[in-house]
Chains A and B, each alone.
Chain A
Amino acid sequence: MKARFSINSRNLPTLFTLGLFVIMFAVGSLSFPGFLSPQNFLNLFIDNSYLLILGVGMTFVIISGGIDLSVGSVLAFSTMLSSSLLEKSHWDPLLVIPVVLLAGVALGLFMGYIIQAFDLPPFIITLAGLYLARGLCYVVSIDTIGISNQFWQDAAHAQWNVIGQNFISPSVVIGAVVVIAGVFISRSTKFGRTVYAIGGNEQSAILMGLPVARTKVMIYGLSGFCSALAGIVFTFYTLSGYALNGKGMEMDAIATVVIGGTLLTGGVGGVFGTVFGVLVYGTIQILIVFQGTLNSWWTRIAIGFLVFLFCLLQRVFESRKVGKAKKPEAKVPAKSPS
């Protein structure tokens, strides 16, 4: 029994997040009538599927020890590009989707290539990417573009019943497919294992003969793909392209990943935890809506605080690990003047 528990301790952060979600949902159910319903639970997925998709891409980036600040802007660019191609150029939806996804991948690969080939810090390149993509939105159009395309309208209004009268939207299905694909890629493919290896120790990964350079570029390509897909899903909600969409969403995506138990230092974590991260995020949002008097900006503050809390937890876990590893030397008073 004890051995079994110690294996599970690797999943401890994820379990912690699951517990947090259950507690928050319970508090909501006890405080507000109508909170506890199957539909309200499904709404968490319906309202946040774009964030789930962003989170999956971001999980890979963070596991590899990198960071991608451009996701919110790439999402916005993807909403602009798809709405402009649909409404102004009257392209076929089946052509628009691949083109938009390709544009996202291209942006991601571009950033990944610069980061990898020239050994530059990911945050500065993706920060530049953030402003680049945001600016490209305005190149497409300064104004909001509404989408009246039938395919998009259908996708936006479709409701599929799952349990009785409770429904999900196509976005949820897309989100679920991305999560399953993400779990599969991270656990069962060469690419996925290399991502973990890079995050654990890049030098070792290179010495092991893993294709580190190629994988690092591909990680940012994957994140770009997820951002573009999330953008398309986002237009299913808003039925419009707007250049200010997804402002600050990079923080939301990073938050869901961190809350989901992925270590910011890389190497540890998983796609599945991110799902719980999104659930926690969504619950905070509904709690604030149900509460009624707080303005929606409190969500941002609450999320910032949660990220802080989880980073703190991660540090505690890490220092414990280091403490355990170094215990034999602990008697030597190696304290330095700081």
Chain B
Amino acid sequence: MAWWKYVSSRKIFWPLVALAVLMAFNLFFTPKFFRIEVKEGHLYGNVIDIIKNSAPIMLLAIGLTLVIATKGIDISVGSIVAISAGVVAMLLGGDLLGVPKYPIWIAMGTAILVSVLAGMWNGMLVSRIGMQPIIATLILSVAGRGIAMVTTNALIVWLYIKPFRIYGQGYLLGLPFSLYIIAVLLILTALVTRRTALGLFIEAVGINPTAARFAGINAKNIIFGVYAFSGFCAGISGLIVCSTVMSADGNNAGAGYELSAILAVVLGGTSLNGGKFYLLGSMVGALIVQTLTTTIYAFGVPPEIAQVVIALVVLVISLLQSGKFRTMIAGFFGKRELAI
């Protein structure tokens, strides 16, 4: 059984099992779930949709994984998505003939820049002023909605600029274009954190900031950096959200994304207590969240009620991560420790 021990001890194993169970459930209960067709050279089907729809959450999860690894949290990402979408929409303009006000790259660059600034603001509050992450990011999560609404003059801005479509709706070599963006960002992040000492530094800060400081790590700058990076990821996510629906709605863009993204990260095996992170796991986590949502929709449940299920899953996952809960369950089964 050596192979079993090897496979089950891989960090990616349990998230994949969860995804497989969900998929298997769909195989039996949702008709045509796995049907993939080729239309106009693109792949179509539920599975492709799941990948496409989970793109914004995946992007948020990349940034959030690093934040949570430092024992922080960022609940402002949903609002930053709205700000980014609002900025890009206002700069492109709602011209009916599809002539952008400013070149697309300037609009997108500005949106990402504003998002990074928003992330840096969070980072400053947490690392320099020493606020609790939840309060610091709560400020932006609420004020950020206001900023997004003020940016768009409290209107929903519709876009008619064809080339901007590609980021959310386009395909490359038969696969959704957003997938390539995620792949590039994921690989770069993985390289920077795992091929240099940066990842270790981040984990060290998450385990014990004071100890990390005494070990010569600039904890403040690391914390500042991860929040700025989270803002960056949220900015790109906002561009994709805006491009997918070709509109920017300050009130609803990215609403509730923070919970889905946190769930994705936690499902992927990153602990809320900080100190370890797992980027690939977060991606699988995002897929699980999206598959779960799609499955709930497939049963004809309204999207609003799907929140209840997501919230319950968050509760269950948090419980599973709690040491006390594990000992309780283990005691229930008469064992000292659970295998998980």
Contact = CB atoms under 8 A, between A and B. Distances in A.
Partners in one complex: yes
Contacts of B308: 131-132, 135-136, 139
A338 B154 contact: no
Looking at A67, A119, A248, the one whose CB has the most chain B CB atoms below 10 A away is A248
B285 to A, nearest CB: 15
Contacts of B75: 127
Given A128-B311, A315-B130, A251 B141 contact: yes
Given A121-B272, A251-B142, A301 B304 contact: no
B318 A120 contact: yes
A80 B312 CA distance: 20
A134 B324 contact: no
Given A248-B145, A304-B142, A308-B139, A338 B307 contact: no
A167 interface: no
Interface string A28-70: 0000000000000000000000000000000000000001010
Interface stretch (A191-199, A230-238, A291-299): A291-299
A305 interface: yes
Interface in B309-340: 309-312, 314-315, 318-319, 321-325
Contacts of A280: none
Contacts of A315: 129-131
Contacts of A264: 131-132, 135
B324 A118 contact: yes
Contacts, number: 141
A85 interface: no
Contacts of B272: 121, 124
Interface in A236-281: 243, 248, 250-251, 254, 264-265
B132 to A, nearest CB: 6
A297 B218 CA distance: 38
A298 B145 CA distance: 10
A338 B219 CA distance: 7
B218 A338 contact: yes
A261 to B, nearest CB: 15
Interface string B140-178: 111111110110011000000000000000000000000
B55 interface: no
A132 to B, nearest CB: 4
A138 interface: yes
Contacts of A125: 315, 318
A69 B141 CA distance: 12
Please tell me the size bucket of the interface on B.
Answer: 35 or more
A315 B138 CA distance: 17
A139 B305 contact: yes
Nearest to B325: A118
B83 to A, nearest CB: 12
Contact of A132 (B132, B144, B145, B312): B312
Interface in A119-148: 119-121, 123-125, 127-132, 134-139, 142
A129 B147 CA distance: 26
Contacts of A67: 134-135
B28 interface: no
B302 A142 contact: yes
Given A132-B308, A304-B140, A338-B213, A119 B145 contact: no
B256 interface: yes
B132 A251 contact: no
Contacts of A206: none
Nearest to B313: A128
A120 B322 contact: yes
A118 B304 CA distance: 28
Contacts of A138: 302, 304-305, 307
Contacts of A165: none
A269 B312 CA distance: 33
B311 A311 contact: no
A243 B304 contact: yes
B42 interface: no
A173 interface: no
B12 interface: no
A158 interface: no
B311 A131 contact: yes
A119 B318 CA distance: 10
A295 B305 contact: no
Contacts of B3: none
B122 to A, nearest CB: 11
B182 interface: no
Given A120-B322, A297-B150, A298-B150, A337 B310 contact: no
Contacts of A120: 318-319, 321-322
Given A128-B314, A315-B129, A254 B154 contact: no
Contacts of B130: 315
B306 interface: yes
A305 B143 contact: yes
A228 interface: no
Contacts of A312: 129
Contacts of B144: 304
Nearest to A249: B142
B154 A295 contact: yes
Contacts of B216: 337
A334 B216 CA distance: 14
A130 B142 CA distance: 14
15 contacts: A118-B325, A119-B322, A120-B322, A123-B73, A123-B134, A125-B318, A132-B308, A134-B304, A134-B307, A135-B306, A300-B145, A301-B146, A304-B146, A305-B143, A308-B125
Given A124-B314, A312-B129, 4 more contacts: A124-B73, A135-B306, A251-B141, A311-B136
